[in-house]
Amino acid sequence: MADTRHLISLRDLTDADLDRIVRRGREIAAEDPAVRKEPLRGRVIGVYFSKTSTRTRTSFTAGALRLGARVVTFGPGDLQLNTGETLADTARVLGGMLDGLVIRTAGAPEELRRFAEHCPAVVNAMSADEHPTQALADLTTLWSRLGRLDGLKLLYAGEGNNTAAALALALPRFSAVELEFRTPPGYGLEPAVLAEAQALAARSGSRVSERHDMESLPEGADVVYTTRWQTTGTSKSDPAWQRVFEPFQVNAAVMARCPDALFMHDLPAHRGQEVTAEVLDGPLSIAFEQAQYKLHSATAVLEWCLGQ
């Protein structure tokens, strides 16, 4: 069996790994599924989601099946973790039966790394702090649509959540990128993540910045990106939080200030909150194309993690 690898954080990827996965996702998108080989035939992949998912769970399940693997799925109530079995014991059992495990959890990355101590290949399909496979799908979408990542100008409006953190840890590795976050006061990126992103940007000749208003938006943005205000699996302690978020809605006025920009959203979307229907369903929106690319990117991730 080829060497296996974990993808728990984008920090686990070298620049070459990141480039390879994104390029492979683009190749898979262009392939004819009818003639695709099945390099994971004979492998068994577990898919454990303790939180809801439409796109990510489907993309990894369909990707594994298209690669020839068998899939075992676990929902939030299926494992004996709910009856008191320790995570370590569960991980030891699953690691002895599975060739790879795709996990979504609301927990910390340490939980995923505990699984990785016993399982051959663990993929973080979203944790509280980071959504690495979303960023990989986003980069694959953008490279396929625009033909480049170098020199990209992306404006992100909304909460500094796990999707934002993943973008911050991935996109600035490419050269001459301008990545600007506009986040509500009190809901920005974690300072350590922002500092890490700025260090990556300095190394590659890119720029990462963050502001807490929607004034003086950057000119010439290639992409405007937003996410759901209420991140999956989370809640906000401030009962008036929506008033803080309202100025960060992506609407026609925002897009008019970035007239040539494509619109992206990691979905699910709440029309009338973080984005208007006019924008999400408009001609410059590639949100549903972006969702489709999650399948191609997930397939590339599984190939990489299982040593193909």
Q: What is the pLDDT of residue 32?
A: 87
Q: What is the pLDDT of residue 109?
A: 78
Looking at domain 10-130+295-305, its CATH class is alpha beta
Give the C-alpha distances (Å, rounded to integers) separating 201 from 84, 129, 156, 189, 195.
44, 20, 16, 16, 10
Count CB-CB contacts under 10 A for residue 249: 19
Which one is predicted more confidently, 105 or 71? 71
Q: Mean pLDDT, the chain, as a whole number?
A: 95
Q: Which residues pair with 101 in a beta bridge?
A: 46, 122
290 exposure class (CB count in 10 Å sphere: 0-12, 13-18, 19+) = buried
Question: What average pLDDT does range 262-283 have in this prediction?
Answer: 98
User: pTM for the full model?
Assistant: 0.95
Q: Per-residue pLDDT tens for 50-81?
A: 999 999 999 999 999 999 999 999 999 999 99
Q: Per-residue pLDDT tens for 124-175?
A: 999 999 999 999 999 999 999 999 999 999 999 999 999 999 999 999 999 9
Place of tokens 């996410």: 227
Question: What average pLDDT does range 264-280 have in this prediction?
Answer: 98
Q: What is the pLDDT of residue 307?
A: 85
Give the C-alpha distances (Å, rounded to integers) separating 70 from 45, 64, 92, 95, 231.
6, 7, 20, 15, 31
Q: Per-residue pLDDT tens for 20-58?
A: 999 999 999 999 877 878 999 999 999 999 999 999 999
Within the chain, strands assigned E span 44-49, 70-74, 100-104, 122-124, 153-157, 178-182, 207-211, 223-226, 262-265
307 exposure class (CB count in 10 Å sphere: 0-12, 13-18, 19+) = middle
pLDDT band of residue 1 (cuts 50, 70, 90) is: very low
- CATH dotted code for 132-291: 3.40.50.1370
Question: At residue 191, what are phi and psi to the nearest 5 degrees?
Answer: -55, -35
pLDDT band of residue 110 (cuts 50, 70, 90) is: confident
Q: Which residue ranges does the chain devote to CATH 3.40.50.1370?
A: 10-130+295-305, 132-291
What is the largest distance, in Å, between two alpha-carbon atoms of the chain? 55
Report the 3 state secondary structure along 102-138: EEECCCCHHHHHHHHCCCCCEEECCCCCCCHHHHHHH
Q: Per-residue pLDDT tens for 204-218?
A: 999 999 999 999 999
Q: What is the pLDDT of residue 35?
A: 80
